[in-house]
């Protein structure tokens, strides 16, 4: 892990496209700004972990838990034809 010290209004570059800015420091809270291309998803870690957990749970879903799915897919397929 790289650890850097920055002051308010100072920045860190990650590659050529991601810029991290220190916006404000108050006590033990630091506000940062992130400028990145729209193609790069940026999440707080706790949100990212929740998304990953939801994805894991979705993969575990058994087909029997979705009894209407086959009919839905069949209807959607027929509409496209």
Torsion of CA 21, 23, 24, 28, to 10 degrees: -40
Residues 76 and 66 in one domain: yes
The count of other CB atoms within 10 Å of the CB of residue 22 is 17
Task: Express each pLDDT in 50-70 by its tens digit.
Answer: 999 998 888 877 666 666 666
What is the tally of structural domains in the chain?
A: 2
Q: Count the alpha carbons within 13 Å of 47 in the hemisphere toward its beta carbon.
A: 4
Question: Which two tokens mark 25?
Answer: 């420091």
Residues 75 and 47 in one domain: yes
Is residue 51 within 8 Å of 43, Cβ to Cβ? yes
- Mean pLDDT, range 10-25, rounded to an integer: 97
- The whole model's pTM is what? 0.65
Residues 37 and 2 in one domain: yes
- Mean pLDDT value across the chain: 86
**Which residues constitute the domain of residue 30?**
1-41
């Amino acid at each position: 892990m790289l650890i850097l010290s920055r002051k308010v209004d100072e920045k860190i570059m990650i590659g050529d496209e991601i810029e991290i800015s220190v916006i404000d420091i108050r006590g033990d809270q630091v506000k940062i700004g992130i400028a990145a291309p729209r193609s790069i998803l940026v999440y707080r870690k706790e949100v990212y972990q929740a998304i990953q957990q939801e994805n894991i749970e979705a993969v575990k879903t058994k087909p029997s838990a979705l009894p209407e799915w086959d009919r839905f897919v069949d209807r959607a397929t027929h509409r496209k034809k």
